[in-house]
Amino acid sequence: MQPERTELTELVLDVVDQVPTGRATTYGHVAEAVRARTGHGHARHVGQVMATWGAEVPWWRVVRADGTLPRQLRSGALEHYHEEGTPLSPHVPVRVNLDRALWDPADAWVPPAGVGEHRA
């Protein structure tokens, strides 16, 4: 049984859908962008959303803080990285070079209409 699809789920998917071709972001960066708008969201939540609904968006563009993905996703991601020209680490197989490829949604994400800034 799938968990309920919440507004936070939709926002996570919206952020991921906006990651440009050939770039990547991290679970933590996605969480920070969502949290800045709503006051809620953590990297683990982003991981749960991606595990459940990630096939709807370019899932290979969201990586761990070290630029890697879970082992079972790496071969599928590698094909996308080559197609998109995503910079990879020359030292570790299937690791995105975040120094060159990082897209920070805090600077660039355009949230859907109706999502206001979080007020502390």
Rounded to whole angstroms, the Cα distance separating 87 from 100 reads: 6
Rounded to whole angstroms, the Cα distance separating 34 from 27 reads: 11
pLDDT tens per residue, range 10-65: 999 999 999 999 999 999 999 999 999 889 989 999 999 999 999 999 999 999 99
Q: What percent of the chain has pLDDT over 70?
A: 89
7-105 has which fold? Arc Repressor Mutant, subunit A (1.10.10)
Q: Where are the domains of the chain?
A: 7-105
Torsion of CA 93, 99, 101, 103, to 10 degrees: 130
CA-atom Rg of the chain in angstroms: 14
- pLDDT category of residue 106 using cuts at 50, 70 and 90: confident
